[in-house]
Structure 1
């Protein structure tokens, strides 16, 4: 059962439409779908929203700490709400998936993703769920940081938006703990 959904990204207009903000974009769509509002919460170093799922309240968080310090915000909210790592879903961009692919997994390493690395450090655990939105890898010779901080092409955006829609369509099953059904649907 999921009690907290964290979308990873960087605050600020210059980052809004970049590959690295796939997690923020996902949560913005989710909030729009459920008719929720974002509230700035300085004590959690982020913006929060919540929606009532069939299991109860689910907290949504966009850390305002910038990607590499996402764990600070996540750690604060987890301690406040007494949320266990296995009750957390982190939505993020994934270089190791083709553009527009979407996959769910539990646990694992950070694969060089600094946002995940910081969350793992602050939680002291890797046992949270990850909803990974594929943004593909840069061409050989291009710096990864430059790649993830630029906007995808129009055709790539269409694929990323389809992935976001597919993930949102599975949220009810995911927050209630039907992980196998979500994996079957997203990984097909």
Structure 2
């Protein structure tokens, strides 16, 4: 069983913001693979289904970004999911809009959602997909809680689809293969 987690903040005021790109990927995956995100438990909303013969849970923590690890930990404990079978998808200000990076492990790099996950999982070794949201020109908080421009949204639609394909590759062929295939991805 795989746990696919998209990070973001709950509530209408955060929809389509840079910080919620992880939620956007989960919503896209749910639609593509016909998985209903309709259960509320584990401090999140989630759905269960199958992707290419693998049982998956698609999770959107509702703890707000900085406490994402609380939700993840509850799902891991309940379903006994191995760390290698977790994929976390989130925003990254160090990547330009239209880019993504896959990593098998690593530090939080200043991302509070990842800090929380590392603290609750007790390890930084889990696959992750970082989606570029661009560097802030001024205030970090207003940048990540801000909306994308129309042009940026067009690039992001391509990245969301690529992140979905990368997740599929991680599940079927492993994180190394996904890194080889997708770390050079750049939307046009």
Same fold (TM over 0.5): yes
* 1:61 Cα deviation after fit: 0.5
Whether 2:25 is the aligned partner of 1:26: answer yes
Structure 2 gap segments, 5+ residues each: none
Whether 2:78 is the aligned partner of 1:80: answer yes
- TM normalised by structure 2 equals 0.93
Determine the structure 1 residue equivalent to 2:181: 185
* 1:55 Cα deviation after fit: 4.5
Q: How many residues align?
A: 184
Of the structure 1 ranges 110-119 and 55-64, higher mean CA displacement relative to structure 2 is found in: 55-64
* 1:52 Cα deviation after fit: 1.0
In structure 2, distance between residues paired with 1:143 and 1:76: 33
2:67–2:116 contact (8 Å) kept in structure 1:
yes
What SS is found at the alignment partner of 1:127? Answer: coil
In structure 1, distance between residues paired with 2:76 and 2:108: 19
* 1:161 Cα deviation after fit: 1.4
What SS is found at the alignment partner of 2:173? Answer: coil
Determine the structure 1 residue equivalent to 2:93: 95
Whether 2:159 is the aligned partner of 1:163: answer yes
After superposing on structure 2, the runs of 4+ consecutive aligned residues of structure 1 that deviate more than 4 Å are none
Determine the structure 1 residue equivalent to 2:69: 71
- TM normalised by structure 1 equals 0.93
Determine the structure 2 residue equivalent to 1:38: 37
In structure 2, distance between residues paired with 1:138 and 1:170: 26
